[in-house]
Amino acid sequence: MHHTILSRLIWHRVGLNHGYNIQSTIHALLSSALGISGLITGDYNFYSKLINHVTTGYFISDCFNENLGEDLIFHHLAGIYVLNMLVEKYPYSPILCQGILIELSTPFLNEFRRTKKKGYGIGLLISFALLRVLYLPWIYQQFLIRDDPELSQNIRYLVWTFISLNYFWFYKICRIAYNIKK
């Protein structure tokens, strides 16, 4: 896997050879831990701001990965926009603390890509189905009902595009899982 010079220098310096996967896994675990902390304490404003800073920083640094596809570039740019909008417009909503939990599927993805072990593939398939295919649309609907039934059409399109991307990625994961079984 090719990485930018900056990425190679940073991750080689700290002794980690899988730069992109390690960054992604660290982001997923840290941001999810912040989301869980926000849900446990009820301090959505504080934890949503932390999640926004951590995730925006990760998205920006990840854009320097030369292997990033167009779908992930869209994901990152839309994510930065939506994160900042949520923190600004809905500071006391649990939506960001709830939504970031979808990142718990990411370590399975990274380890499956790295090792090709069947157990990580099964973990990816299950976690992606539960968190991104089922849970994500549900929390979005709950957000609309609870926080903003009049959410602008542009944001609705952006969120449903993101959810649709997850459905597309899930389709790809299912195809890979099917091919592994063969």
Concatenated DSSP letters of 48-102: HHHHHHHHHHHHHHHTT-TT--HHHHHHHHHHHHHHHHHHHH-TT-SHHHHHGGG
Instruction: For residue range 81-100, list pLDDT tens digits in order.
Output: 888 988 998 889 999 999 99
167: domain range?
Answer: 5-181
Residues of the chain with pLDDT under 50: 1-18
Q: What's the pTM value of the predicted model, to 2 decimals?
A: 0.82
pLDDT of residue 153: 73
The neighbour count for residue 11, using CB atoms within 10 Å, is 18
CA dihedral 5, 81, 32, 100 (to 10 degrees): -140
pLDDT of residue 106: 94
The neighbour count for residue 118, using CB atoms within 10 Å, is 12
pLDDT of residue 71: 75
pLDDT of residue 182: 59
Structurally, the chain folds into a number of domains equal to: 1
